Copies of this chain bind each other. A is one copy, B any other.
Amino acid sequence: MTQDLILPRSDLDFLLFDWLKVDDLTRRARFAGQDRFDYASVLDIYAKLAAELFATHNKKNDSQEPSFDGERVTVVEDVGVAMRAFSEAGLMSAAFPPEWGGLSLPSVVERAGMAYIMGANVASAGYAYLTIGNANLLMAHASPKQAAKYVPAMAQGRFFGTMCLSEPQAGSSLADIRTKAVPGADGRYRLFGNKMWISGGEHEVSENIVHLVLAKIPDANGQLPPGVQGISLFTVPRRLVNEDGSLGERNDVVPAGVNHKMGQRGLVNCLLNFGEGKFRPEGEVGALGEIVGEPGQGLAYMFHMMNEARISVGLTAAALAYTGYLHALDYAKTRTQGRLRSQRDPVSAPVPIIQHADVRRMLLAQKAYASGALAICLYSARLNDDVHSLEDAAARDEAHLLLELLTPITKSWTAQWGLVANELAIQVHGGYGYTREYNVEQFYRDNRLNPIHEGTFGIQAIDLLGRKTRMKGGGALKLLSARIAVTIDSANRIASLQRHARTLAKEWDRLQTVTSKLHALPDAEQQLANAGPYLEAFGHVVVGWLWLDQALTVTDLLQGPQASDFHRGKLAACDYFFGWELPKVAAWLAVLDPVERTPLDIRENWL
């Protein structure tokens, strides 16, 4: 697959340099000495690796999923080849600070590059982004000695990382985890329990695997502390690591089974047993782990990785949507079928299906979803860079607050509409799209995970309505409001965008009114009952804002020598979004003001 079928560089360049003004970052201390040429060069490397080493085994990853014989997990060899090249190119540590051997790239550039890898092969990309997230957590929260044990090896791609949160009985509800970590005299902990849904949980692609494990430390009576306050975080390597960095014996963590997924099959997903005694000498029981930071702070630390993982989820959804769109576009330009109404003569040649308005509708929708999803992911990544590079503490706090508010949208809107985009990509391909001989049905299957993992759609909705829109007295909402107002003001000064500016102002006002009314409801169950459509409405308005904001940039560019069809397509996608998508907001808000109570009130046995 060529790079052009994975992600269009034109859009990436536009989003990064024209719209998000990533060049400006180079004036900050953290990114001193970097320039746009560096960013372009590193994006070239991501794109090349994506096309030449990742896309090439995407189907193989799917048809030859990891197998488990009760002892070992076998993954197709191509994963290791691609991951070694990825690490050797310095991409694992691309955004690590120099003291950890990294290039200190802005997160927004690293994410843009990762989108190539994800679009090319989301399963293999998983090994990378989980490892990167794991290292980022350790750099932020582990002791220097602890981090030194793992992070350099991760940067080299010798160690991979996982996050071990869920258990068979505790999926979304982490308060109910039962994995226990018993402190030993040597300062280490012995872990016992079962962890479910562990991506990259067992394999021999890397020399070692570093599991970041949530567990509870029992009290003096051996009881586990209740709730999330009792959760601590531990590093539990698959193989123990000696003081000199060499690898020791197998730790007592073993796969008890692998899940056979609908998609993302190449990324092995395991049930892991900790401390069942298999790899420990007689009498010595428990998987050996070291605590990260303070006891009881595990969930807070894990949210460091989790929030990053949520942007990664959004980015995979965006990347899959984008490559699906590009495949559909390519197909629509080459597949001939039927005739236009103005030329029904049956002896005339059939036309490429892109000439049918309904096919263009499906392509435009995919473009609006895919590029809109990419835009919000990169916007969030840019905020993350602000959090870590702005001089002014208050400005950093503001960026952080806004990022917190946008995270559930960045995760969920992309997952929901990225999936719709992939569904449309299948539809454009007709019967061919339904076969595994083509690529698009896999994109759908791969993408279907995204509304589920790292916090389901429903969890994100409650996070947005119940928490993020309320925190700091609605401070995040005020910040967002201010930014949206700037866009509306600017758009109001451009004749061709005034109509959209008015629509956005109206929808945003309405959304704020509804938000206030919901927050004022005395009954918490009622308040959050319809959080799902609230998230949908909020997401659409936010993405509409980002489309209008991009249209401002485009309108400028269209005055200059750079003006191109690419820019005209951007405006069309913006028009499409306002014309076709924003009318849906009213339908979602219809069940929020007042709260439509049927789902709340229906009794179980009526269903």
Contact = CB atoms under 8 A, between A and B. Distances in A.
A109 interface: no
A431 B198 CA distance: 11
A538 interface: no
Contacts of A445: 262, 445
Contacts of A600: 357, 360
Interface stretch (A15-23, A184-192, A524-532): A524-532
Contacts of A342: 524-525
Size class of A's contact patch? 35 or more
A226 B346 CA distance: 6
A524 B576 CA distance: 21
Contacts of A248: none
A605 B565 contact: yes
A591 interface: yes
A427 B415 CA distance: 12
A169 B604 CA distance: 51
Contacts of A423: 419, 448
Nearest to A355: B604
Nearest to A257: B437
Contact of A568 (B448, B599, B606): B606
A603 B569 CA distance: 8
Interface stretch (A48-56, A97-105, A170-178, A312-320): A170-178
A358 B458 contact: yes
A388 interface: no
Interface stretch (A110-118, A141-149, A206-214, A361-369): A361-369
Contacts of A462: 358
A159 interface: no
Nearest to A599: B361
Contact of A172 (B338, B355, B457, B607): B338
A480 interface: no
- Give chain A's interface secondary structure class: helix
B361 A260 contact: no
Interface stretch (A68-76, A299-307, A373-381, A578-586): A578-586
Contacts of A572: 598, 602, 606
Contact of A350 (B176, B598, B605): B176
A329 interface: yes
A532 B458 CA distance: 29
A363 B607 contact: yes
A607 B569 contact: yes
Interface string A433-446: 11111000100110
A367 B607 contact: yes
Interface string A329-353: 1000100111111100011001000
A449 interface: yes
A243 to B, nearest CB: 38
A158 to B, nearest CB: 29
Contacts of A280: none
Contacts of A590: 579-580, 583
A474 interface: no
A563 to B, nearest CB: 12
A599 B587 contact: no
Contacts of A587: 583-584, 586-587
Contacts of A360: 599-600, 602, 607
A566 B566 CA distance: 55
9 contacts: A197-B431, A262-B436, A355-B604, A357-B528, A364-B602, A427-B452, A427-B458, A565-B603, A566-B606
Rank and list the top 3 A-B pairs by shortest CB-CB distance, nearest first.
A227-B346, A569-B606, A361-B599
Interface of A: 166, 169-173, 175-176, 196-197, 226-228, 259-263, 329, 333, 336-342, 346-347, 350, 354-361, 363-364, 367, 419, 423, 426-427, 430-431, 433-437, 441, 444-445, 448-449, 451-453, 456-458, 461-462, 524-525, 528-533, 565-566, 568-569, 572, 575-576, 579-580, 583-584, 586-587, 590-591, 596, 598-600, 602-607
